[in-house]
Amino acid sequence: MIPEPAGREYDVVIIGAGAAGENVADRVVKGGLTAVLVEAELVGGECSYWACMPSKALLRPGTALHGAQTTPGAKEAVTRTLDAKAILSRRNYFTSNWQDDGQVEWVKDSGIELIRGHAFLTVPRTVEVAGLDGTDHRLEARHAVVLATGSVPTQPPIDGLADVQVWSNREATSASEVPARLAVLGGGVAGTELAQAFARLGSAVTLIARSGLLGSFPEEAAGLVAAGLRADGVDLRLHTSTQRIGMDDDGAFSIELGDGSSITADKVLVSTGRHPALEGLGLESVGFGADADGRLLLETDNTGLVQAAQGDGGWLYAVGDAAGKNLYTHQGKYEARATGDAIAARAKGELDGRPADWSRFAQTANDHAVPGVVFTDPELATVGRSLQRARKDGYNVSSVELPIQVAGSSLHSENYEGWAQLVIDEDRKVLLGATFAGPDVAELLHAATIAVVGEVPLHRLWHAVPAYPTISEVWLRLLEKYGL
Ligand SMILES: Cc1cc2nc3c(=O)[nH]c(=O)nc-3n(C[C@H](O)[C@H](O)[C@H](O)COP(=O)(O)OP(=O)(O)OC[C@H]3O[C@@H](n4cnc5c(N)ncnc54)[C@H](O)[C@@H]3O)c2cc1C
Ligand SMILES: NC(=O)c1ccc[n+]([C@@H]2O[C@H](COP(=O)([O-])OP(=O)(O)OC[C@H]3O[C@@H](n4cnc5c(N)ncnc54)[C@H](O)[C@@H]3O)[C@@H](O)[C@H]2O)c1
């Protein structure tokens, strides 16, 4: 039981100092309010230390080397393989060696207060903190409490899994050695990226997925990524269930698969999805209960305000992975900017009720204009609605697809293989979504995001001339194929 500490008042109390929490704090302070961030681990959160940054640092050298190896004239200069030690050391640099001093300095310089500890709600607007240094705090929020607690890995119900020590994204992205044999469970974004990273670092990788690889992306695009992984020697066991995981006497993992085969591995990475980190936050004490599956989920409006919160109902917000909408850093930061600005505006009486779509306080892009990149080689970049989603949402929809074969791609590398798709609203003749797959297509994505968000009519998009010779010329080919 925490002793009754003296309460301290802030305009806004933010639980979790990941990318989302940091951005809410920054916006409310810029809006003239006081803010305190409470962080139980490292300031900067998952992305900085165990997710985006280290995984991309592990992937990038392999992509750069492969780029040279597929470019005649450069490939002759490639006489060695990847230097795993140098890559791990560059990864350490990008995670600041798992030290958060730099981010703590930014927090202080931004006028935000920081408390290190585990925070939980007790009554509306009141957050208790069990400080990491043994000091307890009670924080009263005048205007808002923001949950920015991120997400945690979802453990699949596999026999034996609970009895063995497997890798999550944390152990994989902070590994100091490259395992000889790595098994990856899950064919989503994290599993695919990390399978390729470790294969290129030298592991013999087997990826087991109960459905296809990257099942939420168009088949043609995911197929190119699957081919890339196979070319790197990854043994893809798709549409295969995992029955049991155990450990042999020699310390190796033994994985029994649904097709009757088995795999032996030195490490097992479980990357079968994540869910909002809402447990242990005292949400029950402010009226929220778990659903039938035992999961806590919060419903938020377009400003991140949690619906049906106890008290006056206008004090609890959730952003980033904790809100459970789009599990991407960039989208969490977008939510945070809107939420922070909305809290500040409401505090000053400048915003009442639900803001209009596309106002600075509304997370309008969240529903239908979310960009995402899978940083494998080849890359996969997508924004907006997929064809299936557009149909499901009731649009009169068409699509146009093409392999990427333009001057820019042929110059990029030998045997460049890519694929592109536009999803079109036939009634308004605007883009609902776009997907690109191929080497170095990630940088094509923002043009598509602008077209989707801006609802640029196709006849106007026709005048957006791609520079020659770039891979972006595929835009022209797609519009020509559409009939322009
Ligand atoms: C392997 C991997 C790679 C990824 N790569 C990318 C990528 O390339 N691009 C991309 O956009 N996204 C990527 N993501 C997703 C991205 O990491 C998340 O969307 C992002 O980190 C979410 O940010 P957040 O601020 O919501 O949560 P987090 O970064 O998880 O921050 C939440 C913080 O809250 C703290 N906290 C939790 N509970 C409490 C409590 N009770 N009291 C105090 N503090 C608490 C935690 O310690 C944590 O620091 C990746 C994810 C994984 C797993
Ligand atoms: N480049 C990026 O932006 C990036 C990279 C990695 C992760 N992320 C984010 O992190 C989140 C988590 O990544 P992730 O790859 O763990 O999740 P995911 O949702 O992308 O993929 C999870 C995979 O696990 C499979 N799965 C689920 N339950 C299973 C079970 N019981 N048995 C076998 N397979 C099962 C699913 O079918 C799916 O293929 C994602 O939502 C993503 O947005 C982003």
Is the Cβ–Cβ distance between 17 and 44 less than 8 Å?
A: yes
Which ligand is nearest to the Cα of residue 328, counting in written order?
1
Residue of the CA atom closest to atom 27 of ligand 1: 150
Q: How distant is the alpha carbon of residue 189 from its chain centre?
A: 9
Which ligand is nearest to the Cα of residue 271, counting in written order?
2
pLDDT tens for each residue of 16-73? 999 999 999 999 999 999 999 999 999 999 999 999 999 999 999 999 999 999 999 9
Q: Report yes or no on 302 lying in a domain.
A: yes
C-alpha–C-alpha distance, residues 320 and 148, integer Å = 6
Question: H helices of 268-416, where?
Answer: 329-347, 365-368, 387-392, 407-412
Q: Which of 246, 272, 298 delimits the end of a domain?
A: 272
Query: Quick one: pLDDT at residue 2?
Result: 46
Q: Report yes or no on 62 lying in a domain.
A: no
Query: Quick one: pLDDT at residue 292?
Result: 80
Q: Report yes or no on 478 lying in a domain.
A: yes
Same domain, 127 and 262: no
Per-residue pLDDT band at 6 (split at 50, 70, 90):
low
Same domain, 31 and 124: yes
Q: Report yes or no on 196 lying in a domain.
A: yes
Is the pLDDT at 4 greater than 80? The verdict is no
Is the pLDDT at 1 greater than 90? The verdict is no
Per-residue pLDDT band at 290 (split at 50, 70, 90):
confident
Is the Cβ–Cβ distance between 478 and 400 less than 8 Å?
A: yes
Per-residue pLDDT band at 297 (split at 50, 70, 90):
confident
Token pair in block for residue 245? 């995981």
For all residues of the chain together, what is the average pLDDT?
A: 96
Query: Quick one: pLDDT at residue 5?
Result: 55
Mean pLDDT of 443-462: 98
Query: Quick one: pLDDT at residue 288?
Result: 87
Is the Cβ–Cβ distance between 38 and 17 less than 8 Å?
A: yes
Q: Is 273 annotated as a binding residue?
A: yes
Q: Please tell me if the CB atom of residue 118 comes closer than 6 angstroms to any atom of ligand 1.
A: yes
Q: Report yes or no on 70 lying in a domain.
A: no
| Ligand 1 centroid from CA 277, angstroms | 10
| Ligand 1 centroid from CA 302, angstroms | 21
Mean pLDDT of 338-343: 98
Q: Is 151 annotated as a binding residue?
A: yes
Residue of the CA atom closest to atom 24 of ligand 2: 272
Residues 6+ apart with CB under 8 A from 53: 47, 94, 95
| Ligand 1 centroid from CA 41, angstroms | 11
Same domain, 32 and 142: yes
Same domain, 136 and 283: yes
Q: Which of 272, 299, 332 delimits the end of a domain?
A: 272
Which of 461, 403, 474 has the alpha carbon at shortest distance from 431?
461
Which residue shows structure tokens 């990826």? Answer: 207
Owning domain of residue 407: 378-482
Q: Report yes or no on 464 lying in a domain.
A: yes
Q: What is the DSSP letter of 97?
A: G
Same domain, 323 and 338: yes
Token pair in block for residue 238? 């798709």
Q: Please tell me if the CB atom of residue 277 comes closer than 6 angstroms to any atom of ligand 1.
A: yes
Query: Quick one: pLDDT at residue 311?
Result: 72
CATH number of the domain bearing residue 469: 3.30.390.30
Same domain, 219 and 295: no
Residue of the CA atom closest to atom 40 of ligand 2: 327
Same domain, 314 and 280: yes
- Model pTM score: 0.97
C-alpha–C-alpha distance, residues 317 and 286, integer Å = 13
Beta 113-123 vs 35-39: how paired, if at all?
Answer: parallel
C-alpha–C-alpha distance, residues 120 and 126, integer Å = 9
Mean pLDDT of 87-93: 98
Mean pLDDT of 223-246: 98
Q: Is 190 annotated as a binding residue?
A: yes
Q: Which atom of ligand 2 is nearest to the CA of 192?
A: 15
Residue of the CA atom closest to atom 6 of ligand 2: 190
C-alpha–C-alpha distance, residues 13 and 24, integer Å = 10
Q: Which of 234, 255, 272 delimits the end of a domain?
A: 272
Q: Which residues lie with the beta carbon below 6 Å from any ligand 2 atom?
A: 156, 185-191, 193, 209-211, 215, 271-274, 327-328, 372-375
Is the Cβ–Cβ distance between 192 and 59 less than 8 Å?
A: no
Same domain, 205 and 306: no
Mean pLDDT of 248-277: 96
Query: Quick one: pLDDT at residue 188?
Result: 98
Same domain, 11 and 143: yes
Choose which residue among 55, 58, 272 to substitute to test ligand 2 binding: the one with the highest number of ligand atoms within 8 A of its C-beta: 272
Q: Report yes or no on 56 lying in a domain.
A: no
Q: Is 187 annotated as a binding residue?
A: yes
Same domain, 32 and 148: yes
CATH number of the domain bearing residue 173: 3.50.50.60
Q: How many domains in the chain?
A: 3
Q: Please tell me if the CB atom of residue 283 comes closer than 6 angstroms to any atom of ligand 1.
A: no
Q: Please tell me if the CB atom of residue 21 comes closer than 6 angstroms to any atom of ligand 1.
A: yes
Extended strands (E) in 113-195: 113-123, 126-131, 136-147, 151-153, 181-185
